[in-house]
Amino acid sequence: MELQWPLILFTFFMCLSSGILFAQSVLALKGEGRAFQNTSLVASFVAMVVGGIAVFLHLQHWERIFNGFGHITSGITQELIGVVLLFLALLVFFLMARRSEDGSVPAWVAWVGIIVPVIMVAVMGHSYLMEGRPSWNTPMLIVYYLINAALMGSLTVLIIAAAKKQDGDFELLKKIVFISAILQLVALAVYAMVLGASVGTYADHGTYFDPTLPDIPKVEPAAVIGSLFTGSCALAFWGGAIVVGGILPICLSFLLNKAKDAGKTMTYACASLVCTAIGGLVWRGLLYVVALTIFAIFLH
C-alpha cells in the first residue's frame, strides 16, 4: 500500500502527545516536575493538534463528519473519543494544578493522566487491526505504539525539565526511558518475526495474470515482507528502524541515566528523541509497505 503520511503523522504525534501526559503524570504522582508541568501540558496539546490536523488532511470530505459521524465499531470514531478523553485529561490536569497553591494535583488526576494516554494509544493501535491485512493484524502493533509513546513522552518531559534548568534526578523517568528503549527494540524484533511468520496466511494463487495491469509484476508476499530484511527496504529497516530507532536510543538512554546535570540530560535526551522519532517514522512507513491484503493481488 502507498504510504499514508497523514495517518503516519497522526499515530506519531498522538503517541508523542499521549506519552508526554503519561510521563508528566508519573512525575506528578511522585510530587515532582511542578515547575515545568504547564510546559509539558502545552507540548502535549500542541502535539495533539498537529496530529489532529494531519489526520484531517487524510479525509477527502472532512465537512461531512457532521453528517452521521459516530459509528461506534469504527476505529476512527473510537480514536476521536480517545482524543477527546485525552484532551479532557489534559484540561483536568491543568485546572487542578491551577487550583492548588503549590501546583500539585490529586493522585486521581495523576492516575487519569497515566491511564487515559494508555487507552488512547491502545485504541489507536486497535483501529488498524484488520484481518484483511495480516501485517497489521497483530497485538504487536498496539504494544509497539504503547512503548514508543512512553519513550518519546518521557524523553520530551526530560528535555523540558532540562530546558527549565531543573537539576532534579527524575530517576524514575530516566528508568522508564531506558526500559522503554530496550522494550522498543524487543518489540521491533518480535514484530519483525511476526511479519516473517505471517507469510503463510496470504492466499496463494500460484501463477496469475491481471489483463488490466499487464506491466505489474505478480505480488509475492514472501518477497514483499522479505524486502524488509534483505531487499529494497533493508536499509530502512536495519538502518532506520533497528539501528537509529532501536539501538541508538538504548545507548543514549544509558548515558542519560548517568547524566547528573541539566546540560548532559538535555544533550542525551534530545539525541535519543531524534533517533526514536526517525526510527518511529521509518517503522510506521515500512508497515505500509508490507500491508498487503490477504488476497494478495493488487487490483488497482
Partner 1 sequence: MANYAIITDLNRCTGCLACTVACKAINGVDVGSFWIKTLRIGPNPIEGGSGQYPDVEMYFLPVQCQHCEHPECVKVCPTEASHIREDGTIQIDKSKCIGCQFCVMACPYGVRYLNPEERVVEKCTLCEQRISQGDLPQCVQQCGARARFFGDLDKGVDNFEAPAHPDDPGTQYDEMIKTRVKLKDYVEPYKPTDIHHLKNAGNDPKLMYLLREGRKWRE
Collapsing DSSP to helix, strand or coil, 196 comes out as: helix
Question: Which span sits near partner 1 by CB under 8 A: 89-97, 222-230, 266-274, 289-297?
Answer: 289-297
Positions of E strands within 129-194: none
- Residue linked to cell 541539566: 262
Question: Which span sits near partner 1 by CB under 8 A: 30-38, 63-71, 103-111, 267-275?
Answer: 63-71
Collapsing DSSP to helix, strand or coil, 260 comes out as: coil
Residue 130 within binding range of partner 1, rule CB under 8 A:
yes
Question: Which span sits near partner 1 by CB under 8 A: 164-172, 187-195, 210-218, 265-273?
Answer: 210-218
Beta carbon nearer to partner 1, 24 or 127 = 127
Residue 3 within binding range of partner 1, rule CB under 8 A:
no
Residue 58 within binding range of partner 1, rule CB under 8 A:
yes
- What count of other Cβ atoms lies within 10 Å of the Cβ of residue 93? 25
Contact between 118 and 22 under an 8 Å Cβ cutoff? The reply is: yes
Answer for which of 42, 46, 75, 264 binds partner 1 (CB under 8 A) is: 75
Residue 291 within binding range of partner 1, rule CB under 8 A:
yes
Question: Which span sits near partner 1 by CB under 8 A: 67-75, 165-173, 176-184, 250-258?
Answer: 67-75
Residue 215 within binding range of partner 1, rule CB under 8 A:
no
Answer for which of 42, 76, 118, 251 binds partner 1 (CB under 8 A) is: 76
Collapsing DSSP to helix, strand or coil, 61 comes out as: coil
Question: Which span sits near partner 1 by CB under 8 A: 73-81, 98-106, 148-156, 245-253?
Answer: 73-81
CA distance 172 to 38: 20
Answer for which of 3, 42, 46, 77 binds partner 1 (CB under 8 A) is: 77
CA distance 107 to 115: 12
Residue 212 within binding range of partner 1, rule CB under 8 A:
yes
CA distance 64 to 66: 5
Answer for which of 108, 111, 229, 295 binds partner 1 (CB under 8 A) is: 295
Residue 84 within binding range of partner 1, rule CB under 8 A:
no
Collapsing DSSP to helix, strand or coil, 13 comes out as: helix
CA distance 121 to 71: 20
Residue 1 within binding range of partner 1, rule CB under 8 A:
yes
Q: Which three cell numbers stand for residue 130?
A: 484488520
CA distance 28 to 104: 7
Residue 73 within binding range of partner 1, rule CB under 8 A:
yes
Residue 214 within binding range of partner 1, rule CB under 8 A:
no
Answer for which of 31, 132, 196, 263 binds partner 1 (CB under 8 A) is: 132
Taking the mean position of all CA atoms in its chain, how far away is CA 235? 21
Q: In sequence order, which residues have a C-beta less than 8 Å from that of residue 249 and are 6 or more positions away?
A: 151, 181, 184, 272, 275, 276, 279
- Residue ranges that bind partner 1, judged by CB under 8 A: 1, 4, 58-62, 64-65, 67-71, 73-77, 80, 127, 130-133, 203-212, 291, 293-295, 297-300
